[in-house]
Amino acid sequence: PCRAQPKKKKKVDVKKEQAQKERMKKKIKKLEKAAPELIPIEDFITPLKYSESNRVRSLPALSPEESERRVLLLKKWCLFKQKQDEAEKKAIRALVESQQEALKELRLESEELYQAAIKRDERLFPFERDGPSYTPPLPGYDAPEGKCVDITKVYTQ
Amino acid sequence: DALLGCHRSYRSRPTHGIGRFRYLLPKELPKRRKEKVQMKEIDTGTEYQYGDVNIQMTSYDLCLVEHFAQYVHRLCNRLSIQVNESYAMPTKTNEVLFLEERGSKMQLDAVLTTHQRVVQIRGLSSTFAPILLEVIQSNQPEGVHLLVKQHTEADFKSRLKSRPELEELLAQMS
């Protein structure tokens, strides 16, 4: 008597659910086919207002003494930088050499310690360091209250 | 006309292949389709070598951070350390608001942009790592925050765009 209708409902429901699931799977497959994209970096895109303007800066003409002075200064700076670079390279070489010598001596002393010294240090990473600052924070400074709002543009695919 | 129109090549005659010229032109490379962004395999490294290491430099000043990243890259080249990639992370913009002395309105103070550059290296030996860190630290410019850590999949995923629709559907499925 009342059996036919409930059975129909069940069948239709199951079929609908299956159809829905298949549709969702197809959508997922389609979305997954598209490769993930990298977020575009705003640093590398010059804003249009810097390329549209027509005004050009005209520099004043340099006197020969001034240009001589500049060229000589440039040469002195080059020499200074070269000396600095050489000193750095020398320091690195000295560090590496002394390290190798120390390891050699250690090896002669005991093999176990040498092996333990060569192994990598797990506590080295992650390593964080803040750069030196021109104006370090003052000790007794009372800053005004405020907040920071993150307004980065969120890109979605 | 019949002689000019026909394209038969008389292979026995000495005039075979007389009109060929394509072999003289410069080789045209096949057009590259857009390469899909795929994650490269992350190297974990052996006991005496660190695998993929990320050197991340963050700062508010764009020029400083760029130049420092270039310096680190050149230093690694000079010390023959293999550099996998040298890329930029997306910039973050922060609006700094402060409370006025009289009144309850928040006033806009400044808009700051934080820039980040990453240099990824591979095959750093355990004895050389502290030396490299010393050199980088001694040349660290003002206001540049240095972070050295191992490369993970999460780091790579943070560079990609988020896909909310895909995530929604996956959540619905499971």
Tokens of A25: 């799977």
ipTM: 0.79
The Cα of B170 is separated from the nearest Cα of chain A by a number of Å equal to 8
Cβ pairs A/B, distance under 8 A: 156
CA-to-CA distance for B20 and A5, rounded, in angstroms? 80
Contact A120 B126 (CB under 8 A): yes
Contact A150 B94 (CB under 8 A): yes
pLDDT tens digits for range B56-112 = 999 999 999 999 999 999 999 999 999 988 999 999 998 888 877 776 777 777 889
The Cα of A27 is separated from the nearest Cα of chain B by a number of Å equal to 8
Cβ-Cβ contacts under 8 Å, A94 against chain B: none
Mean pLDDT over B104-125 rounds to 85
Contact B162 A157 (CB under 8 A): yes
The Cα of B154 is separated from the nearest Cα of chain A by a number of Å equal to 14
Point out the residue among A31, A128, A144 whose CB comes nearest to the CB of B98.
A144
Residue B118: the pLDDT is: 93
Probe site for chain A from B85, B162, B174 (most A CB atoms < 10 A): B162
Strand ranges of the sheet holding A127-129, from the earlier edge strand across to the other edge: A127-129, B145-150, B53-59, B106-122, B82-99, A146-150
Cβ-Cβ contacts under 8 Å, B70 against chain A: none
Point out the residue among A42, A131, A152 whose CB comes nearest to the CB of B140.
A131
Point out the residue among B49, B99, B143 whose CB comes nearest to the CB of A145.
B99
pLDDT band at B37 (very low <50, low <70, confident <90, very high): low
Taking the CB of residue B146, how many other CB atoms lie within 10 A of it?
Answer: 20
* Domain spans, chain A: 67-118
DSSP 8-state symbol, A61: P
Probe site for chain A from B49, B102, B161, B169 (most A CB atoms < 10 A): B161
pLDDT tens digits for range A19-62 = 888 888 888 888 888 778 888 888 888 888 877 777 778 888 88
**B 69-128 near A (Cβ less than 8 A):** 79, 88-99, 101, 106, 109, 111, 115, 126-128
pLDDT tens digits for range A81-130 = 999 999 999 999 999 999 999 999 999 999 888 888 888 877 887 888 88
The Cα of B132 is separated from the nearest Cα of chain A by a number of Å equal to 9
* Domain spans, chain B: 61-90+116-160
